[in-house]
Amino acid sequence: VPSHSRIITAVEIGTSKTAALMGELSVDNQSLNIIGFGLSPTRGVSKGVITDITLAGESTHAAIESAEKNAGCMSAEGVFLALTGGHVRGYANSGIVEIQSKEGTVSQSDIESVTNQSRMRPPPDEHAVIHFIQGPYILDGKPVDQPLRMRGRRLESTCWITYARTTQLAHSISMINDYGLRVCDIILSSLGSAQSVTTREERRHGVLVVDIGAGTTDYVLYRNGFVVSTGVIPVGGQHVTNDLSLALQITPQQAEALKLRCGRAVMQCKDRNERVWRLGERSIGDKEVPLMSIERVCAVRMEELFTILKQNLEAHLIPEAINVGVVLTGGASRMPGVEQLASSVLGLPARLGEHLSMPVNGDLQGGQYSTVLGVLQYGMLETASRLRTKRTSSIFHSVMKTLKLA
Ligand SMILES: Nc1ncnc2c1ncn2[C@@H]1O[C@H](COP(=O)(O)OP(=O)(O)O)[C@@H](O)[C@H]1O
Ligand SMILES: [Mg+2]
């Protein structure tokens, strides 16, 4: 590796798998080569929340170690970590200022003051801010790309503030630190997924990205290129598996296999008498069960998930402002019928996401890796801009201070 190249690593600790992806930033900081990939079944994590730090640490290390081996024994160095879990929340906050100058043109200090105001709302106790995601600047009621030196009376702006429980952040960071690696930044999982399955143009036209994982569903809504809302719903593919396991009295492993074989998000079977083997043909002690009941169990849970999503987004679900519709990713979005269900519940067109912005090999296709791929791209953009400006990310630094890790 030439001395001026930079190696960065993205890590997603999902509920079912932990993925680590290493990339090397090109000399001109413009592109990234994927050099290593590692995977490990996640342990000690429930619905995106760390419940056993020793087990979770072990499976995280296993994924990173396997990426390092895959990269020809290079060190993972700086880690960009994806964040999910029911404790991750967000809200919008706005700022407003009267233009001060005599000429009535917007000055840098007006912009700073409205931006600061929009960031002013503190998170609840025991929580820390992860991202301040700046919304558009509105001058006298009209959105402007760059308010500086424009004429007007009132400048407004909104900020989408995401925050997470401090203890969970500390757990995630110390798991990486324990391995002798440094966390460069924490990135909301949904932002990572959106980065890899949508283009800037699509985000400008309005798009809702929904990543359905095993224990959580992470979403982000973009309108006019800006983040309007993000959220984490503690429901995913694992809940469908658990429902099947209870309903048919089979183990979760057997239920998982059955789900992959016959699960559907929208029922298709019309014949009550159509039966399938619970465990697969010719297994000892197997029984035949109605296909309809399997489909129903899956469809009910998946519909519940999209109904919660609809309730969360409420007033934001304006079809005219979300022209691209819903883009679905995450492993559990691969269940047949998910697009149809999403479209009918949310009232928007829906499609499955593909990885657009980075050429990836076959191993990384499929919705499971959207987050880690997108987080790696965030890492690249951040590292490149940091190298250009020689500045460090200020929010993350303050998070680390809060956690007493810096
Ligand atoms: N073809 C498929 N049909 C239905 N569910 C699937 C399919 N492939 C994967 N899944 C489900 O996707 C989930 C894992 O997705 P993933 O995005 O890797 O989750 P996480 O990031 O939370 O670990 C599991 O619940 C698994 O059952
Ligand atoms: Mg995931």
pLDDT (0 to 100) of residue 51:
96
Alpha helix locations (H) across 130-236?
Answer: 166-177, 189-197, 200-205
Ligand 1 neighbour 234 (Cβ under 6 A): no
Ligand 1 neighbour 29 (Cβ under 6 A): no
Q: How far is the CA of 77 from the centre of ligand 2 (A)?
A: 22
Q: How far is the CA of 19 from the centre of ligand 2 (A)?
A: 9
> Could you tell me which residues are beta bridge partners of residue 331?
none
Q: How far is the CA of 371 from the centre of ligand 2 (A)?
A: 6
Secondary structure (3-state) at 234: coil
Q: What is the mean pLDDT of residues 339-359?
A: 92
Task: Give tens-digit pLDDT for 113-148.
Answer: 999 999 999 999 999 999 999 999 999 999 999 999
pLDDT (0 to 100) of residue 281:
64
Ligand 1 neighbour 15 (Cβ under 6 A): yes
Position 98, amino acid: E
Q: What is the mean pLDDT of residues 283-288?
A: 83
Ligand positioned closest to the Cα atom of 332: 1
Secondary structure of the chain: what % helix, strand, coil (to 5)? 40, 30, 30
88 vs 338: CA distance, rounded Å: 25
Q: What is the mean pLDDT of residues 279-303?
A: 90
Ligand 1 neighbour 162 (Cβ under 6 A): no
Q: How far is the CA of 213 from the centre of ligand 1 (A)?
A: 5
Task: Give tens-digit pLDDT for 353-397.
Answer: 998 766 677 778 889 999 999 999 999 988 888 777 766 556 777
Of 26-40, 152-166, 217-231, which gets the smallest average pLDDT?
Answer: 26-40
Of 53-57, 96-100, 284-288, 397-401, which gets the smallest average pLDDT?
Answer: 397-401
Q: How far is the CA of 83 from the centre of ligand 1 (A)?
A: 17
pLDDT (0 to 100) of residue 228:
96
pLDDT (0 to 100) of residue 1:
43
Q: How far is the CA of 292 from the centre of ligand 1 (A)?
A: 22
Ligand 1 neighbour 14 (Cβ under 6 A): yes
Question: Which protein residue has the closest C-alpha to ligand 1 atom 6?
Answer: 332
Task: Give tens-digit pLDDT for 38-64.
Answer: 999 999 999 999 999 999 999 999 999
Task: Give tens-digit pLDDT for 195-212.
Answer: 999 999 999 999 999 999
pLDDT (0 to 100) of residue 287:
87
pLDDT (0 to 100) of residue 325:
98
Which of 294, 335, 370 to mutate to test ligand 1, by most ligand atoms within 8 A of the CB atom? 335
Q: What is the mean pLDDT of residues 56-76?
A: 96
Ligand 1 neighbour 260 (Cβ under 6 A): yes
| pLDDT over 70 at 79, yes or no | yes
Question: Which is higher by pLDDT, 286 or 260?
Answer: 260
Tokens of 315: 């007033």
Q: DSSP states of 241-298 as a string?
A: HHHHHHHHT--HHHHHHHHHHH--SS-----TT-EEESS-TT-TT--EEEHHHHHHHH
> Could you tell me which residues are beta bridge partners of residue 220?
209, 230
pLDDT (0 to 100) of residue 216:
98
Ligand 1 neighbour 85 (Cβ under 6 A): no
| pLDDT over 60 at 3, yes or no | no
Ligand 1 neighbour 263 (Cβ under 6 A): yes
Which of 11, 12, 13, 15 to mutate to test ligand 1, by most ligand atoms within 8 A of the CB atom? 15
Ligand 1 neighbour 230 (Cβ under 6 A): no
| pLDDT over 60 at 88, yes or no | yes
pLDDT (0 to 100) of residue 405:
63
- φ, ψ of residue 52 in degrees (nearest 5): -145, 105
214 vs 368: CA distance, rounded Å: 10
43 vs 16: CA distance, rounded Å: 8
Ligand 1 neighbour 214 (Cβ under 6 A): yes
Mean pLDDT of the chain: 92
